[in-house]
């Protein structure tokens, strides 16, 4: 109940009780007045009746004195007392006539009748005495009839007095009881009014107002300090204090919501800052090998609750392999055919939620309950890889992070595509498209670098020519000749490995730049290359092409030989090998006849 309602009810109750108690006091006062009136009436009645008795005796005495002595003064006294007696009788009637009972009225009539009889005897006696009948008048006032009439009058007066006294005492007692009753009622109502007033003061002011306000003041102080963890009053009251508490609750909820939104904004800004840093790092990467560590490092910072892989598509666009990993994911394999991923099939993000009934990808372990998200990486209309994330709670974290993952995937796919495009352009610029070897331009750059960066380490250059290459073109076709050239290039890559740079010089001629290689090692490598090509069986479309041999010329910077004419010296050695019968290795530090390989 609202405080205003309680206050109004308390006010109305107090007013009603005050009015009732006031009425009770008025009734008590009136009862006291009635009690006093009854006492006064009884006193006056007693006095008047007593005076009436005295007057009756006085008239009798004056009448007797008059008839005995005959003096006029006794007659006058008789007349005066008789008038007073008449007046007293009227006074008695006026005092009691308003509320006489039947018995009292009968007794009063008896008194009047007895008084008339006595007055008649005395009046007649006085008249007789005044008429000269002294003996008759004396006899009348001393006769038995006069004595009987006087006795009857005194008796009737006493009887009437007893009746009136009894009734007066009863009225006095009744008035006193009413006065006492109304006084008690008035006092009780006054006490109840005071109790109600004090109860309202205690209940409303202390319990319903003062105590909650004291508690709310502490809450408001803490809210003013932006401490929104404070607990509010939980009594569910529906009054003004409850309205204030509801308003404070709304303020607290708004504060908590603002804190939550601020935290989300800060988190969102932090994530965006990290994503921006990741984008900057991606733009600075020179090749695909640098991408995976960068993505893994920032993925852990951006999504600390998630694990995942960065998958890169092979050149045939058939298989994805994990190029980077973070957080030790458990559900996906590290290499799988692209057809096994629903995200790659649809070209859209795919959330595999086991508990929610979505179709899981085939490259996932279905026994693991973690949610997983496959985000294809595409750019320039081509799919280049996939971002894979998995997390707890059936994918709730993935749903919350999906927008950020899509933003990263968009930029990451573009970065991978640009690097691949740059690699392809670089390969076209420095590699031969037929054999995959470095081209003539790359050879010139390596030799120029060798000339510029002269060191104490020896270097060697190997010039290679396929013997009788025109024979393969003429007898088997140009496609077979290209195949022979690519097979020779593959053998040279296997022998040289990653230590030396293998180039296609032009036509069927090749060159190998060997940095940090002395003469002995260079010749050994050349001999191994020559013998390996000679022993390799080459078949094109199921048709043997015969033995393929090469002539090799080698030049070295060892023994003080300059690097500026290294190619001329190696080319001269190659010409000597071809002139000497081919399928041989000639070095610029050998003299005499050409050394034929042992058969």
The DSSP code sequence of 175-244 is: HHHHHHHHHHHHHHHHHHHHHHHHHHIIIIIIIIIIHHHHHHHHHHHHHHTT-TT-----S---SHHHHH
| pLDDT tens readout for residues 445-501 | 888 888 877 667 889 999 999 999 998 888 889 999 999 999 999 999 998 887 889
Q: How many CB atoms lie within 10 A of CB 574?
A: 25
Catalytic residues: 508
Is 464:550 a contact under the CB 8 Å cutoff?
yes
pLDDT (0 to 100) of residue 89: 60
pLDDT (0 to 100) of residue 38: 66
Name all domains of the chain by residue range, CATH numbers in brackets: 3-196 (1.20.120), 285-425 (3.30.450.40), 440-587 (3.30.70.270)
Task: Check residues 231 and 155 and name the one with the higher pLDDT.
Answer: 155
Here the tokens at position 361 are 């990808």
CA–CA distance, 277 with 299 (Å, rounded to integer):
11
Greatest Cα pair distance, the chain, in angstroms, is: 225
Here the tokens at position 258 are 């603002």
Distance of CA 533 to the CA centre of its chain: 77
Beta-bridged to residue 320, according to DSSP, are: 313, 336
| pLDDT tens readout for residues 155-170 | 877 887 787 777 777 7
Here the tokens at position 466 are 């396929």
- Percent of the chain exceeding pLDDT 70 equals 82
pLDDT (0 to 100) of residue 598: 45
CA–CA distance, 402 with 297 (Å, rounded to integer):
19
The DSSP element (H or E) to which 70 belongs, if any, is none
pLDDT (0 to 100) of residue 513: 93
Is 556:522 a contact under the CB 8 Å cutoff?
yes
Q: b/e string for 263-299 if b means 16 or more Cβ within 10 A? A: eeeeeeeebeebbeebbebbeebeebeebbebbbebb
CA–CA distance, 166 with 176 (Å, rounded to integer):
15
For the chain, the distance separating the N- and C-terminal CA atoms, rounded to the nearest angstrom, is: 118
Is 277:298 a contact under the CB 8 Å cutoff?
yes
Is 376:421 a contact under the CB 8 Å cutoff?
no
Compute the Cα dihedral for 493, 497, 498, 502 and give only its sign: negative
Compute the Cα dihedral for 341, 345, 351, 355 and give only its sign: negative
Give CA separation, 466 vs 78, 244, 289, 439, 573, in Å: 193, 99, 36, 17, 15
Mean residue pLDDT across the chain:
81
pLDDT (0 to 100) of residue 594: 47
Here the tokens at position 378 are 């595409």
pLDDT (0 to 100) of residue 490: 92
- Stretch 276-286: mean pLDDT, rounded? 88
Q: How many CB atoms lie within 10 A of CB 474?
A: 11
| pLDDT tens readout for residues 361-378 | 899 887 777 788 999 998
| pLDDT tens readout for residues 97-143 | 555 677 877 877 787 787 777 777 777 777 777 777 777 777 877 77
Four-CA torsion 222, 225, 230, 233, nearest 10 degrees: 40
- Stretch 240-249: mean pLDDT, rounded? 72
The dihedral region occupied by 380, where left means phi > 0, alpha psi between -120 and 50, and beta the remainder, is left
Q: What is the DSSP string of 439-504?
A: -HHHHHHHHHHHHHT--SS-EEEEEEEETTHHHHHHHH-HHHHHHHHHHHHHHHHHHHTTTSEEEE
Here the tokens at position 90 are 């009227």
pLDDT grade for 599, boundaries at 50, 70 and 90:
very low
Nearest Cα to Cα of residue 326 among 371, 387, 379: 387
pLDDT grade for 65, boundaries at 50, 70 and 90:
confident
CA–CA distance, 487 with 435 (Å, rounded to integer):
8
Task: Check residues 291 and 50 and name the one with the higher pLDDT.
Answer: 291
| pLDDT tens readout for residues 555-578 | 999 888 888 899 999 999 999 999
CA–CA distance, 418 with 494 (Å, rounded to integer):
30
pLDDT grade for 55, boundaries at 50, 70 and 90:
low
Place of tokens 């006058």: 76
pLDDT grade for 298, boundaries at 50, 70 and 90:
very high
Give CA separation, 99 vs 29, 93, 103, 310, in Å: 22, 10, 12, 121
pLDDT grade for 510, boundaries at 50, 70 and 90:
very high
| pLDDT tens readout for residues 13-32 | 777 777 877 777 787 777 77
Task: Check residues 71 and 342 and name the one with the higher pLDDT.
Answer: 342
Q: How many CB atoms lie within 10 A of CB 465?
A: 22
Question: What is the SS3 assignment for 334?
Answer: coil
| pLDDT tens readout for residues 171-191 | 777 777 877 887 788 788 788
Task: Check residues 178 and 393 and name the one with the higher pLDDT.
Answer: 178
- Please count the residues of the chain: 599
Question: What is the SS3 assignment for 313?
Answer: strand
CA–CA distance, 472 with 482 (Å, rounded to integer):
9
* Side-chain-facing half-sphere of 477: CA atoms under 13 Å: 6
Give CA separation, 224 vs 244, 414, 428, in Å: 15, 50, 69
């Amino acid at each position: 109940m609202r405080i205003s309602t309680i206050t109004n009810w308390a006010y109305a109750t107090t007013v009603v009780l005050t009015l009732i108690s006031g009425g009770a006091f008025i009734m008590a006062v009136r009862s006291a007045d009635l009690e006093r009136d009854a006492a006064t009436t009884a006193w006056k009645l007693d006095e008047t009746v007593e005076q009436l008795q005295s007057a009756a005796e006085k008239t009798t005495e004056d009448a007797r004195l008059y008839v005995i002595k005959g003096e006029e003064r006794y007659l006058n006294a008789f007349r005066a007392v008789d008038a007073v007696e008449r007046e007293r009788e009227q006074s008695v009637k006026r005092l009691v006539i308003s509320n006489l009972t039947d018995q009292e009225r009968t007794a009063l009539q008896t008194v009047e009748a007895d008084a008339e009889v006595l007055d008649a005897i005395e009046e007649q006696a006085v008249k007789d005495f005044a008429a000269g009948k002294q003996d008759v008048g004396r006899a009348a006032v001393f006769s038995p009839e006069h004595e009987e009439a006087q006795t009857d009058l005194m008796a009737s007066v006493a009887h009437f007095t007893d009746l009136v006294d009894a009734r007066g005492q009863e009225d006095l007692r009744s008035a006193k009881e009413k006065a006492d009753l109304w006084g008690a009622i008035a006092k009780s109502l006054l006490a109840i009014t005071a109790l109600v007033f004090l109860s309202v003061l205690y209940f409303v002011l202390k319990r319903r107002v003062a105590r909650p306000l004291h508690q709310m003041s502490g809450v408001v102080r803490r809210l003013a300090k932006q401490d929104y963890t404070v607990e509010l009053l939980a009594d569910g009251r529906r009054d003004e204090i409850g309205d204030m508490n509801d308003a404070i609750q709304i303020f607290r909820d708004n504060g908590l919501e603002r804190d939550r939104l601020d935290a989300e904004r800060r988190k969102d800004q932090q994530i965006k800052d990290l994503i921006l840093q990741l984008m900057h790092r991606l733009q600075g990467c020179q090749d695909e090998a640098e991408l995976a560590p960068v993505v893994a490092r920032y993925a852990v910072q951006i999504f600390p609750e998630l694990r995942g892989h960065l998958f890169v598509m092979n050149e045939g666009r058939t298989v994805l392999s994990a190029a980077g990993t973070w957080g030790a994911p458990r559900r996906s394999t590290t290499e799988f055919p692209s057809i096994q991923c629903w995200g790659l099939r649809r070209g859209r993000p795919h959330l595999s939620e086991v508990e929610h009934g979505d179709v899981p990808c085939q490259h996932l372990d279905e026994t693991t309950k973690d949610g997983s998200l496959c985000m294809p990486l595409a750019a320039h209309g081509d799919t280049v890889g996939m971002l894979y994330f998995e997390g707890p709670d059936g994918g709730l974290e993935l749903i919350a992070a999906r927008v950020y993952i899509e933003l990263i995937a968009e930029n990451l796919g573009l970065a991978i595509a640009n690097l691949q495009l740059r690699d392809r352009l670089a390969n076209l610029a420095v590699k031969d498209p037929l054999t995959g070897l470095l081209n003539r331009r790359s050879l010139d750059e390596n030799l120029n670098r060798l000339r510029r960066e002269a060191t104490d380490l020896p270097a060697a250059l190997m010039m290679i020519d396929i013997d009788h290459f025109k024979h393969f073109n003429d007898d088997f076709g140009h496609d077979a000749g290209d195949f022979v050239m690519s097979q020779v290039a593959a053998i040279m890559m296997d022998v040289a490995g990653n230590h030396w740079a293998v180039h296609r010089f032009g036509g069927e001629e090749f060159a190998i730049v060997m940095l940090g290689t002395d003469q002995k090692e260079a010749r050994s490598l050349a001999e191994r290359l020559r013998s390996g090509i000679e022993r390799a069986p080459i078949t094109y479309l199921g048709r043997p092409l015969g033995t393929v041999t090469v002539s090799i010329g080698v030049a070295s910077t060892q023994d003080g030989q300059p690097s500026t004419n290294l190619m001329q010296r190696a080319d001269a050695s190659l010409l000597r090998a071809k002139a000497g019968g081919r399928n041989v290795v000639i070095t610029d530090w050998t003299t005499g006849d050409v050394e034929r390989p042992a058969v």
